[in-house]
Amino acid sequence: MDVRFNVQTFGCQMNKHDSERVVGRLEGLGAQCVDSIAESDVVVFMTCCVREAADVRLIGQVNTMKSEPIREGSPFGKRIVAIGGCIGPRDGAKLFDELDHLDVVFGTNNLSSLPGLLEDAFVKGVRRAETLEESDSFPTELPTKREHSWAAWLPITIGCNNFCTYCIVPYVRGREKSRPMEDIAQEAQRYVNAGVKEITLLGQNVNSYGRDLYGKPRFADVLEVVAETGIERLRFATSHPKDLTDEVIAKFGTLESLMPALHLPVQSGSDAILKAMHRGYTTQHYLDLIGKVRQACPEIALSTDIIVGFPGETEEDFEGTYRIVDEVGYSQVFTFIYSKREGTPAAKMHDDTPREVIQARFDRLVDVVQKHAFEANQIELGRTVDVLVEGVSKRDSGLLSGKSPKNQTVHAPLPDGVDIADLAGKIVPVIVEEARTWYLRGTLASKVR
Ligand code: 5AD
Ligand code: SF4
């Protein structure tokens, strides 16, 4: 049977990676992955519910499926619609009441059940939800179809035990589970042997890796074994400041393949708010960590997440956030306005700051974020940086686009007669001639390596 499917992904890297597993699983069964919903017989929405906006958008999008015509030659009388990702475990079968043309709901730990659920939908016409917290297999045991042949995401933990008071993730992704280190090392080695240049280790809190494995091995050991595979570029996300150890920090100075970039979410620069968020560290502890990280790797590119407008945030609290952002001088900051998530402790906290006040704080923060992002890029002017080429620039097909070790976006004119398909996935030296807030631009320094 000629079955074509499309996957729409929202949210974080973990969701994007889960989508790769969905594609790998369905392709393994003989279905064909297509680029657009219009060409598909089955559409899978990989959802995010970390903030309200994504929720609202998803419901709207799923609703438009009703009027989307089925493709000519489709083996089914209708388009099969599935919802996966974080909304599945939160809402479960309730989604069927709200969305009458929805066929399947599956949880973040139930990727392996998807083929059976889809089959029930199109053979028996049964609408089913499977959103068990415990899964029979670690999702990483499923085949994966990577978006780029030269880069791989490699989950080392799933779930989260931190219960930050604003966050829905522990409720929808379940308790933290670490993957055995031998499995991680084997998967990494397979990638290296297949020509992968960059591995990103994934987990909601990679630093607490191993806590459920009798405390050993630890995350620093994982970095070590993955580096030993000979991978050229190694990254990880996300780090929690309360669990970032000196051993892990030291690796930035000793492992050549560990790229000089660290995402360390601070969330707020006020100790009172950090306490109410249940983050487990103070601003001073966070700044001490930054000091140690910079000592181990002076030019490291730091990035962070910030929530503005957490319940009860005062002007003084916000000043603390502004100060820490200004003091650290991040290369990149992901700024979010607090979004109330039912079921989390913060949803019950008193919250009377007017929306306009929060928006004004947010805008002020964005200004200082941009100032530092611009400054952080100036240091690259005149230097030669190694760029892992991803493709051509979205705006100009005559420019190649890729990532520096610090994860900066770098553009350079594609040399005459060079096909981007031959360059994608290669690491090329670029002499930087222009440094903007969100990208660098230069020219290729020499022949491609
Ligand atoms: N409201 C706003 N931002 C949130 N985040 C998580 N939960 C919420 C929420 N309820 C942000 C945090 C986290 C990032 C992935 O999303 O900053 O680090
Ligand atoms: Fe959410 Fe906190 Fe876990 Fe991150 S560490 S996923 S913010 S609960």
Domain of residue 200: give its range: 146-378
pTM: 0.93
DSSP state of 148: S
Q: Give me the helices (H) in 8-165, please.
A: 13-28, 52-64, 87-91, 94-98, 114-119
Same domain, yes or no, for 183 and 249?
yes
| 377 touches ligand 2 (CB under 6 Å) | no
351 lines ligand 1 (CB under 6 A): no
21 and 51, same domain (yes or no): yes
Do 328 and 196 lie in a common domain? yes
326, 351, 378 — which closes off a domain? Answer: 378
Residue 26 sits in a domain of what CATH number?
Answer: 3.40.50.12160
Query: Are residues 115 and 223 both part of a single domain?
Result: no
Q: How many independent structural domains does the chain possess? A: 3
Picking from 75, 226, 234, the residue whose alpha carbon sits closest to that of residue 151 is 234
Question: In this structure, what are the phi and psi dihedrals at residue 88, rounded to the nearest 5 degrees?
Answer: -55, -60
The closest residue, in CA terms, to atom 1 on ligand 2 is 167
Record the tokens describing residue 423, joined without a space: 């360059």
Which residue is closest in CA terms to ligand 2's atom 5?
162
Ligand 1 proximity of 324 Cβ (cutoff 6 Å): no
Residue to substitute in 161, 176, 205, 341 for testing ligand 2 pocket (most ligand atoms within 8 angstroms of CB): 205
Contact 345 CB / ligand 2 (< 6 Å): no
Q: How high is the pLDDT of residue 331?
A: 98
Do residues 20 and 105 share a domain? yes
Counting ligands in written order, the one closest to the CA of 163 is 2
Calpha distance 46→11 (Å, rounded): 8
Which residues, in sequence order, are CB contacts of 97 under 8 Å at separation 6+? none
DSSP codes of every residue in 317-352: HHHHHHHHHHHHT-SEEEEEE----TTSGGGGS---
Structure tokens at 279: 């983050």
For residues 55 and 199, membership in a common domain is answered with: no
Same domain as 370, residue 231: yes
Dihedral sign computed on CA atoms, order 95, 100, 101, 103: positive
Q: Are residues 99 and 218 in the same domain?
A: no
Same domain, 168 and 117: no
- Tens digit of pLDDT at every position of the chain (449 positions): 899 999 999 988 889 999 999 999 999 999 999 999 999 999 999 999 999 988 888 888 998 988 888 998 888 888 999 999 999 989 999 999 989 889 999 998 888 889 999 998 888 888 989 888 766 456 566 677 888 899 999 999 999 999 999 999 999 988 999 999 999 999 999 999 999 999 999 999 999 999 998 878 999 999 999 999 999 999 999 999 999 999 999 999 999 999 999 999 999 999 999 999 999 999 999 999 999 999 999 999 999 999 999 999 999 999 999 999 999 999 999 999 999 999 999 999 999 999 999 999 999 999 999 999 999 999 999 999 999 999 999 999 999 999 999 999 999 999 988 999 999 999 999 999 999 999 999 999 975 54
Looking at the DSSP bridge assignments, the partners of residue 233 are 198
Domain CATH number, residue 301: 3.80.30.20
Could you give the CA distance from residue 228 to residue 110 in angstroms, rounded to a whole number? 32
Burial 373-394 (b: 16+ CB within 10 A, else e): beebbeebeeeebbbbbbebbe
What are the CA-CA distances from residue 147 to residues 33, 113, 139, 196, 394 (Å)? 12, 22, 17, 12, 17
